[in-house]
Amino acid sequence: MDQKNVQHADHRIIDGKKIAEAIHQGVGAQARELRARGLEPHLVAVQAGTDAATAIYIQKQREKFAKLGIRYSHVHEPGDATLEHLLGTLHGLGARADVTGILLMQPLPPQIPPSQLEEAIAPEKDVEGVHPINAGLLVHNRHIVAPCTALGAFAAIEATGVPIAGKRAVIVGRSNIVGKPIGLLLLGARATVTTCHTATRDLAAETRRAEILVVAAGKPGLITGDMVSEGTIVIDVGIHRLEGPPVKTVGDVDFDSVAPKSSWITPVPGGVGQITVAMLARNTITWATHAAMRKR
Ligand code: NAP
């Protein structure tokens, strides 16, 4: 089914592109303002190794940032780089006055523990909100930035206009970068949050209770129509490229069976992924603005 052309009386498609464009407008204007004040926002993406998906993300980010007038650089380290070397790279970027944002691309090579590198990112340049200080601020609902995908999923829910407070929200996935921060954002908005994972005893029983369902499991088509109640807001964070033929990009939600039961649903592609890149730009501008304030 062509998701863009779905017309169903009872559900509506959340248009990630439209939400992203609105964010881009604000971000582009802020970038111009900062430059006029003599501060150039500058994000540096650090990649170690040759993950194919990472290369695609970097290309997309570079193109988007060029359009928004935000400087974007890429530091590409070899897959056999040592932890000490990568720590040195991150500390070096943290010390550079011309760098206002640092993005550590994941996955990292298997010999590198992500937590040690995340702790080496200067918190005031941490555009993914992965440093323990930024993660802690999110727990306290006092965050300055949060992980971009979580912000993207939350913005998709907000775009429906449906009040979040009091809703039963169910998240499938508990990763530090996606599932947990989405749960914290929803808790901050006073939803009643349940987080599911592979040890959850009866996933379908949990997802059927959801009024807002966010799926970030990394399993194509995991959620099917029988696992969702009528009228649920469904946010699909998963992105998978199926080699086909035909080659297809799908999410963690089986769109065809779930969409007719949902009140609102994000498509894949064209949903959360679009908003995530916009949030990366927004977080970059947020830290650049903080840098400008420190300069005053
Ligand atoms: P991850 O680190 O692999 O985490 C997956 C989570 O889902 C884990 O907590 C896992 O449980 C849980 N899970 C997996 N299979 C499950 C099942 N059958 N039942 C219940 N829970 C299950 O993945 P991630 O980095 O959070 O990413 C999740 C998805 O989002 C991926 O498809 C990824 O490509 C996508 N993504 C999208 C964007 C975007 O911009 N839209 C950005 C980043 C990631 P355990 O903890 O028990 O293992």
Gap from CA of 135 to ligand 1 centroid (Å): 18
The reported pTM is 0.95
Q: What are phi and psi of 249, to 5 degrees?
A: -105, 125
**Residue closest by Cα to atom 15 of ligand 1:** 217
Cβ(239) to ligand 1 under 6 A? yes
Cβ(149) to ligand 1 under 6 A? yes
- pLDDT tens digit sequence for 166-224: 999 999 999 999 999 999 999 999 999 999 999 999 999 999 999 999 999 999 999 99
- pLDDT grade for 6, boundaries at 50, 70 and 90: very low
Gap from CA of 175 to ligand 1 centroid (Å): 6
39-124 and 147-273 share one CATH topology?
Answer: yes
Domain boundaries, the chain: 39-124, 147-273
pLDDT of residue 10: 59
Pairwise CA distance, residues 64 & 58, whole Å: 10
Interhelix angle for 148-158 vs 272-295, to 10°? 110
Cβ(174) to ligand 1 under 6 A? yes
Ligand 1 site-directed mutation target among 51, 239, 254, 277, most atoms within 8 Å of CB: 239
Structure tokens at 27: 């971000």
- Dihedral of CA atoms 213, 214, 219, 222 in degrees, nearest 10, equals 10
**Residue closest by Cα to atom 18 of ligand 1:** 198
Task: Using the atom order of ligand 1, give the atom closest to the CA of residue 153.
Answer: 41
Report helix, strand or coil for 179.
Answer: helix
- pLDDT tens digit sequence for 70-108: 999 999 999 999 999 999 999 999 999 999 999 999 999
Indicate left, alpha or beta for 34 from its phi (over 0: left) and psi (-120 to 50: alpha): alpha
Listed in sequence order, the DSSP H helices in 37-178 are 52-68, 83-95, 114-119, 132-139, 148-158
Residue 226: pLDDT over 60: yes
For the domain 39-124, what is the CATH superfamily, name and number? Answer: Leucine Dehydrogenase, chain A, domain 1 (3.40.50.10860)
Cβ(198) to ligand 1 under 6 A? yes
**Which amino acid is present at 178?**
V
One of 3.90.1300.10, 3.40.50.620, 3.40.50.720, 3.40.50.300 is the CATH number of 147-273, namely: 3.40.50.720
